[in-house]
Amino acid sequence: QPDQTAPLTLDAALTLAMNQSKAAQLGRLKVDSATADLQAAQRLRYPLLHVYGAATYLNDPLEVKVGQGSMTSLVNDSSASLGLGLTIPEFPTQDLSLARGTHTPRVGSLMFAQPLTQLWRIDSGVRAAQAGVAEAQRESAHIDAKVRLAVEELFAGLQIRSEEHTSELQSR
């Protein structure tokens, strides 16, 4: 904020106008928005990483068992069909535990993917976003130039009027 008692210089007037101009502020915001769009488009080039995990608690853990004698008929029938002539009284002879789970089974997955077929589309999107940034910068520079021109014209007009007023006062 310029000092209220000091005369306003052209540089101070330009700075004040650029900071207060809604059009200039909007132009800068458009550049920021286009830059954010460009960054988002560039991030699409990076592979995606998805992670999933889950766990639960079981009061009775899972267990896979083969009961005593449960395979006897299978073994005897297979032996007879193959012509081996073996006969066993009981198989297995006792309960057999094949696998025993835990109280907290866990499952998880990790996927790391980049669809190669989409990379050309991503590159096209990046180029379009770069063009959007360039256009927003051009528009912002054009708006800034208009504001500067208007302030300079106004300032020059005020200077001329001030000099005319001073010469009128001196001629009286």
Q: Hey, how many other C-beta atoms are within 10 angstroms of the C-beta on 149?
A: 10
- CB of 133 closer than 8 Å to CB of 34: yes
As a whole number of angstroms, the distance between CA 97 and CA 62 comes to: 11
As a whole number of angstroms, the distance between CA 112 and CA 51 comes to: 9
Judge whether residue 146 has pLDDT over 70: yes
- Residue 163: what residue type? E
Q: How confident is the model at residue 49 (pLDDT cuts 50, 70, 90)?
A: confident
Beta strands in the chain (DSSP E): 48-55, 63-66, 96-100, 106-113
Q: What angle do CA 9, 14, 15 make, to 5 degrees?
A: 100
Q: How confident is the model at residue 165 (pLDDT cuts 50, 70, 90)?
A: confident
pLDDT tens-digit profile of 72-130? 888 888 888 888 888 888 888 888 887 777 777 788 888 888 777 788 788 899 999 99
**Is 46 exposed, middle or buried (CB count within 10 Å of its CB: 0-12, 13-18, 19+)?**
exposed
Q: Which pLDDT does position 65 carry in this prediction?
A: 86
Q: Which pLDDT does position 149 carry in this prediction?
A: 95
Q: How confident is the model at residue 2 (pLDDT cuts 50, 70, 90)?
A: low
Q: State the average pLDDT over residues 22-33.
A: 95
DSSP state for residue 47 in the 8-state scheme: P
Judge whether residue 32 has pLDDT over 90: yes
